[in-house]
Amino acid sequence: MELVIAITLGVLTSTGVYLILRARTFSVVLGLTLLSHGVNLFLFSMGRLTTASPAVIGLVENYTDPLPQALVLTAIVISFSMTAFVVVLALKAAVELRSDHVDGEDPNEDRQ
C-alpha cells in the first residue's frame, strides 16, 4: 500500500516538474496544478493514511491525525487562489506581449 502511495506521489511530482519546465504559460499552469496536488497529497500522507477514521470526536474509535488535514485544507484554498492569479497573469501577459511564451516573446519571432 505504502509503495502505491509513494509511486503516485512520485508520478504527480515528475509530471508537474516536467510541465513547469515547458515554454508555454498554459503548460506551466497545468504543471503547477499537478505539483500542488502532489504536494497536498504528500503533506496529507505525512499524517499516515488510515481508512474510516475521520477526526470527528465521538464518531469513531481511532482518529486519524487531523493536523496535516487542517494544513492541507488551507493549502488547497491557497493553491486555488494562486492558480487563479497565475492564470490571469498568463492571460494578461499573452495579451500584452502577444505571445504566451514564458519569456514573453516567441524565440523564433525574429526569423519568421
Partner 1 sequence: MDIGLLVFLPVLGAIASLLSRLKRPGPDHVQRHALVALIAPAICLLLLLSYLPRIQSGEALVYSLSWVPEIGLGLAFRLDGLSWLFATLITGIGCLIIVYARYYFAGKDTAGRFFILIQLFMTAMLGIVLSENLLFMLVFWELTSLVSFLLIGFTWSSRNARRGARMSLVITGGGGLALLGGILLLGQIVGSYQITDVLAATDTIVSDDRYPLTLSLILLGAFTKSAQAPFHLWLPHAMAAPTPVSAYLHSATMVKAGLFLMARLHPAMGDTELWFSLITITGMVTLMVGAFVAMFMHDIKGLLAYSTISHLGLITLLIGMGSEMAMAAALFHLTVHALFKAPLFMMAGIVDQATGSRDMRNINGLWRTMPALMLITAVPAAAMAGLPLMSGYLSKKMLFSESLLVTAPHWATTLIPVWVTVAGLFSVAYSVRIFHNVFFNGQPVDLPHWPPRRKPAGMLIPLFILASASLLVGLAPQATYDTVIHLAVMATSMTHLPLYDFSELSDAQGPAMMSMIAMLGGVVFYLARGPLFAIHRQLPDVDAKNIFEQIMQQSIRFAQSLVYRLENGSLQRYLAFILVAAIAPALWMLTGYTGWQGPSALTEVNPMVVFGAVILCLSAIGVALFHHQRLPALLLLSVTGLFVTLAFAQFSAPDLALTQLSVEVMAVVIMMLALSFLPQTSPRESGAGRIARDLVLAGLAGTGIALFAYAVLTRPAETISGYFLANSVPGGGGTNVVNVILVDFRGFDTLGEITVLGIAAVAVFAFTRDLHLKERVASAGTAKGFAEPHPVILQMVSRMALPIALLVSAFIFLRGHNMPGGGFIAGLVTAVALTLQYMAGGLVWAQERMLTHFRPLIGAGLLIATATGLGSWVVGYPFLTSAFSHMDWPLIGEFELATALLFDLGVYTTVVGATLLILANLGKLMTVAGPGQEVG
Cell of 67: 493536523
**Exposed e or buried b per residue across 72-84, where buried means at least 16 C-beta atoms within 10 angstroms of its C-beta:** beebeeebeeeee
In the complex, the smallest distance separating the C-beta of residue 21 from partner 1, rounded to whole angstroms, is: 4
Which CB sits closer to partner 1, 52 or 110?
52
- Do residues 100 and 24 make contact, with C-beta atoms less than 8 angstroms apart? yes
- Do residues 33 and 20 make contact, with C-beta atoms less than 8 angstroms apart? no
In the complex, the smallest distance separating the C-beta of residue 17 from partner 1, rounded to whole angstroms, is: 4
In the complex, the smallest distance separating the C-beta of residue 110 from partner 1, rounded to whole angstroms, is: 14
In the complex, the smallest distance separating the C-beta of residue 109 from partner 1, rounded to whole angstroms, is: 12
Long-range contacts of 79-85 (CB under 8 A, 24+ apart): 79/32, 79/33, 79/36, 79/40, 82/32, 82/36, 83/29, 83/32, 83/33, 83/36
Which CB sits closer to partner 1, 84 or 110?
84
